[in-house]
Amino acid sequence: MTLRFHDSATAAVRDFTPLREGKASLYYCGATVQGEPHIGHVRSALAFDQLTRWLQASGYDVTVVRNVTDIDDKILVKAQENNEPWWALAYRFEQAFEDAYDALGILKPSYEPRATGHIPEMHALIALLIERGHAYPALDDSGDVYFDVRSWKQYGSLTRQNIDDMQAAPDADPRGKRDPRDFALWKGFKEGEPETAKWESPWGAGRPGWHLECSAMVTKYLGTEFDIHGGGLDLRFPHHENEMAQSQAAGHGFANFWMHNGMVTYQGEKMSKSIGNTINPREMLQIARPLVVRYYLGQAHYRSVLDYRPGSLTEAAAAVERIETFMNAALGQLHPDGSDYQGTLPEAFRTAMDDDLNIPAALAVLHETVRAGNTALAAADRDNAEAAFLGAVGMTEALGINPLDAQWQQGSGSESMANALDVLVKAQLEARAQARVEKNWAESDRIRDVLAAAGVEVADTAAGATWSLKK
């Protein structure tokens, strides 16, 4: 089978033919760094990490770009609430995102441009759009510049919407716009905003609009035409629709494929802070090992909804343990001297991955291989055990979940100790949860005090109690 991906722009699965032979270029939207990463951000990065790894395993030299939106209305508002410079807040959360990506083994992109470092490129794109008749300075004195959606007849084509049915862009006073759907490419500076959040421009001082940032940065790093643009399904409209419109209206071919990953829900419902049904990557990493969290977040098809429920991570841990137990046993028996080995990729696994990254089917091949490998080990059938071991190595490497990889071995000297501690603390937390169910507050407090005296801090979350060691 040839490599095929679902293209959201045409709503069809198409053969992947790269623009440049042997090379693949991928841009996916990174975070607006206004807060801690939530699980949807991490799932998106992981989906495109799986894609990157599979393109590499298929022989492509892959260039990956993921942006950081480090200037945005939300960042300015939060910084003001926190009484902190906006750039300090943005950098702090950028680091939190990096930490989450690193913990889960998400490969570093080739380039990770920040919006604030690309203002001249954005000005050039705005000037080009004005020149081509697709953008105009605001009709009021706001200093904004808008994209003229009526001037671009393909507007709405990515999400297959008719322009008259589309929502207004709530990014500026509609009185300055020709059409309420026109969106801001440049936002004029307003009284009370920090002086450090404005840049001079031919249209007056201000800052870039969000959609424009991505278009300008893609072009700088990947050229006017590139292979794949990715992002979460929630970015399809308005963000990606607007990116596509302004880049194509500027005369750029832009993305050949649009790939969108599905959302994460909590027991069938949208996660929401107001309902309290949220779990973030940090909390997941307190419940389970990084390898288990990566396995869990990456096990569904990238286009389907991933539904979290309490117990999900325990099931993922059991699946990882089956793979890990076999691979450790096989390594010990077949390569006790540390002799070299090279992973292989079974045909059925390749076929599944080539088919729009069908990871559930690919994981089924992996688990079947592990079962066959265990049978072979038990029968002292070295040839079949070795074949299964090499297959498991190749498949787990392609998915970024090889338990033998140094990435997952960090601190392995104390890992058994940490695991033992985790089991003991969780037993205490379960006893405490039971005491609370029985409204036995004295017992619940006693357990918490015992844990606190041992330096264990307990946090109650929607997913249950989690723990960490006091610093």
Per CB under 5 A, residues contacting Zn ion are 29, 214
The secondary structure of 268-301, three-state, reads CEECCCCCCCCCCHHHHHHHCCHHHHHHHHCCCC
Choose between 259 and 292: whose C-beta lies nearer to Zn ion: 259
> Min. distance of Cβ 221 from Zn ion in angstroms?
13
Q: Tokens 């990084």, residue?
A: 290
Choose between 29 and 377: whose C-beta lies nearer to Zn ion: 29
Choose between 32 and 444: whose C-beta lies nearer to Zn ion: 32
Look at residue 100 and give its three-state secondary structure. Answer: helix
Q: Provide the 10 A C-beta neighbour count for residue 224.
A: 13
Instruction: Determine the straight-line distance between the first and last CA of the chain, rounded to whole angstroms.
Output: 53
List of residues 6+ apart from 193 with CB closer than 8 A: 76
> Min. distance of Cβ 8 from Zn ion in angstroms?
14
Residues 257, 356: contact at Cβ < 8 Å? no
> Min. distance of Cβ 432 from Zn ion in angstroms?
44
> Min. distance of Cβ 156 from Zn ion in angstroms?
18
Choose between 240 and 294: whose C-beta lies nearer to Zn ion: 240
Choose between 29 and 100: whose C-beta lies nearer to Zn ion: 29
Q: What is the dihedral of CA 170, 175, 180, 181, to 10 degrees?
A: -70
Q: Enumerate the β-bridge partners of residue 187.
A: 207
Choose between 214 and 393: whose C-beta lies nearer to Zn ion: 214
> Min. distance of Cβ 219 from Zn ion in angstroms?
12
Q: Tell me which DSSP letter residue 405 carries.
A: S
Choose between 235 and 366: whose C-beta lies nearer to Zn ion: 235
> How far apart, in Å, are the Cα atoms of 400 and each of 89, 102, 292, 298, 303?
31, 12, 12, 10, 19
Paired tokens of 36 = 């801690």
Paired tokens of 384 = 């079949």
- With CB atoms as reference, the residue minimizing the distance to Zn ion is 214
Q: Tokens 């033998």, residue?
A: 404
> Min. distance of Cβ 109 from Zn ion in angstroms?
13
Q: Tell me which DSSP letter residue 239 carries.
A: I
> What distance in Å separates the CA atoms of residue 238 and residue 319, rounded to the nearest whole number?
38
> Min. distance of Cβ 28 from Zn ion in angstroms?
8
> Min. distance of Cβ 128 from Zn ion in angstroms?
19
Question: Do strands 23-28 and 225-232 pair parallel, antiparallel, or not at all (unpaired)?
Answer: parallel
Question: Do strands 264-266 and 456-461 pair parallel, antiparallel, or not at all (unpaired)?
Answer: unpaired
> Min. distance of Cβ 212 from Zn ion in angstroms?
10
Residues 105, 42: contact at Cβ < 8 Å? no
Q: Tokens 């050949």, residue?
A: 256
Residues 469, 457: contact at Cβ < 8 Å? yes
Choose between 29 and 264: whose C-beta lies nearer to Zn ion: 29
> Min. distance of Cβ 122 from Zn ion in angstroms?
13
Choose between 214 and 285: whose C-beta lies nearer to Zn ion: 214
> Min. distance of Cβ 446 from Zn ion in angstroms?
51
Choose between 37 and 176: whose C-beta lies nearer to Zn ion: 37
List of residues 6+ apart from 127 with CB closer than 8 A: 202
Choose between 7 and 213: whose C-beta lies nearer to Zn ion: 213
List of residues 6+ apart from 401 with CB closer than 8 A: 105, 291, 294, 295, 298, 320, 323
